[in-house]
Amino acid sequence: MILVTGGAGFIGSNFVLDWLATRDEPVLNLDALTYAGNRANLAALESDARHVFVHGDIGDRALLDRLLAEHRPRAIVHFAAESHVDRSIHGPGAFIKTNVEGTFTLLEAARAHWSALEGEAKARFRFHHVSTDEVYGSLAPDAQAFTEDHAYEPNSPYSASKAASDHLVRAWHHTYGLPVHTTNCSNNYGPFHFPEKLIPLMIVNALAGKPLPIYGDGMQVRDWLYVGDHCSAIREVLERGRVGETYNVGGWNEMPNREIVSQVCALLDELRPSPAGPYARLVTHVKDRPGHDRRYAIDARKIERELGWRPAETFASGIRKTVQWYLDHADWVAAVQSGSYRDWVARNYDKRSA
C-alpha cells in the first residue's frame, strides 16, 4: 500500500485514479477536504476496496501515527498543500500552517515509521514530495529554463511556503537518512481542476457569459503540463528515481497567459459556440496581482535522461481534452461553485480596475 496525502485535490485525485487504473496496489488517501479537496473527484472509486479514504489533516500527528502503524505503507506521496498564489496573498497564514508545519509533522511521522522498519521493508520505503517550479522565482525572457540546480528565489507567500517544505524534505534526508525524492512541476491543467486557476476559470466563465479576467498585459509566460503526464512522471520517480534527488517535471509548452486564453476561447467556439458571438469578446484585462512572476520554464532533461520520461501530451492535445472534460462535467462544475467560491472570485476580481 501507498499513502497519498491530498488525494482528493486536483493533482492528487488524478494521481490516485491513474494509480489504481494502472496497478493493483491499494491507496490510503488522506485529505482534509478544504475548499479544493472534493470527494466527488473520487466517485469512480466508491466501491473499489483498493481505495481507503480518511478525512484528516497532515498536521494531526496522532492520526498519522495511527494510520502508519495500521496500514504500514511502503511509500508516502505528499501532495497536500495550499496551492493558489492569489489566496496566499490574501491569507498567508494557512499556507505556512499546511505547507510548512504540516510537511514537518508528516516528515516526523514518516521518520518514526521508517526507523521502526527492518530489512527490505526499510530499504524500499520512500517519501515522495510534490513541489512546484515557483520556488525558483521569475525568469527573464531570454534566460535558460530552470534546472534542478537553480537557486531558490520564491516571490509569493505560496512559493515561499513550498520552498520551505522542499528544504525540510532535503534536510530530513541529509540529517536523518529518510529516503526521499522531490519533484518540481510546472503549471498543471486537466480534469478536476478547481475553477480559480487560469484555465478552468476561463472555461467556466466563458460558458456563463462572464468576463475573462487576464492580469496585466497577459504576457506572463508559464510552462504547461497535462496532469496525466505529471502523474506518470511521479510514478517513474517513485519507482526508479535516485534517493535524495530532485527531478523537474515540465511539459515543454512555454506560452503566455493571453495565448492560453485565446486557445481556450477558440476551442469553445468550435465545441460549444455561443449565440452571442466569439468567446474572445469576454476577455478583460485587469490590474495585475502583487509580485506576479513574469516567466517560469522547466528544463526536464534530467528526468528524461535518467528515467526515460517525457510528456505524452502536446498542449494542443491536452487542452482539447481539458475543455471537453469541462463541457462533459457541468454537474461537477456546478457543485464546486458554492457560495464560498463565488465570494472568493468576487473578492479577488470584482474590485480590480481594468
User: Which pLDDT tens digit goes with each residue over 114-162?
Assistant: 999 999 999 999 999 999 999 999 999 999 999 999 999 999 999 999 9
Model pLDDT, residue 339: 60
Contact 84/197 with Cβ under 8 angstroms?
yes
Q: Which of 134, 196, 223, 313 is catalytic?
A: 134
pLDDT digit of tens for each residue in the chain (354 aa)? 999 999 999 999 999 999 999 999 999 999 999 877 899 999 999 999 999 999 999 999 999 999 999 999 999 999 999 877 878 888 999 999 999 999 999 999 999 999 999 999 999 999 999 999 999 999 999 999 999 999 999 999 999 999 999 999 999 999 999 999 999 999 999 999 988 889 999 999 999 999 999 999 999 999 999 999 999 999 999 999 999 999 999 999 999 999 999 999 999 999 999 999 999 999 999 998 787 889 999 999 999 999 999 999 999 999 999 999 999 999 999 988 876 666 656 666 666 666
Which residue type sits at 151? A
Helix (H, G, I), strand (E, B) or coil at 78: strand
Residue 42 lies in a domain: yes
In the annotation, is 134 catalytic? yes
Closest by Cα among 99, 78, 110, 234 to 179: 110
Contact 107/168 with Cβ under 8 angstroms?
yes
Residue 258 lies in a domain: no
Helix (H, G, I), strand (E, B) or coil at 337: coil
Q: Which three cell numbers stand for residue 1?
A: 500500500
In the annotation, is 259 catalytic? no
Distance, CA of 98 to chain centre = 14
Closest by Cα among 94, 155, 167 to 131: 167
Give how many domains the chain has, as a whole number: 1
Model pLDDT, residue 288: 85
Residue 283 lies in a domain: no
The one-character DSSP state at 215 is E
**Which residues, in sequence order, are CB contacts of 84 under 8 Å at separation 6+?**
36, 158, 196, 197
Measured between alpha carbons, how far is 288 from 294 in angstroms, rounded to an integer? 11
Residue 65 lies in a domain: yes
Model pLDDT, residue 76: 98
Model pLDDT, residue 196: 82
Measured between alpha carbons, how far is 87 from 89 in angstroms, rounded to an integer? 5
In the annotation, is 120 catalytic? no
Q: Write out the DSSP string of 117-178.
A: --HHHHHH-EEEEEEEGGGG----TTSPPB-TTSPP---SHHHHHHHHHHHHHHHHHHHH--
Measured between alpha carbons, how far is 270 from 260 in angstroms, rounded to an integer? 16
Q: What pTM, to 2 d.p., does this model score?
A: 0.94
Q: Which of 31, 57, 86, 133 is catalytic?
A: 133
Domain assignment of residue 93, given as a range:
2-190+225-252+292-313
Q: What is the pLDDT of residues 5-52, one digit of tens each?
A: 999 999 999 999 999 999 999 999 999 998 778 999 999 999 999 999
Residue 327 lies in a domain: no
Q: Which of 57, 82, 86, 158 is catalytic?
A: 158
Sort 256 into a burial class: Cβ within 10 Å, 0-12 / 13-18 / 19+: middle
Strand order from edge to edge, sheet including 221-226: 187-189, 221-226, 254-256
Residue 173 lies in a domain: yes
Q: Which three cell numbers stand for residue 297?
A: 520554464
| Domain of residue 107, CATH code | 3.40.50.720
Pairing outcome for strands 126-132 and 75-78: parallel
Residue 24 lies in a domain: yes
Residue 99 lies in a domain: yes
HSE (side-chain half, CA atoms, 13 Å) at 61: 8
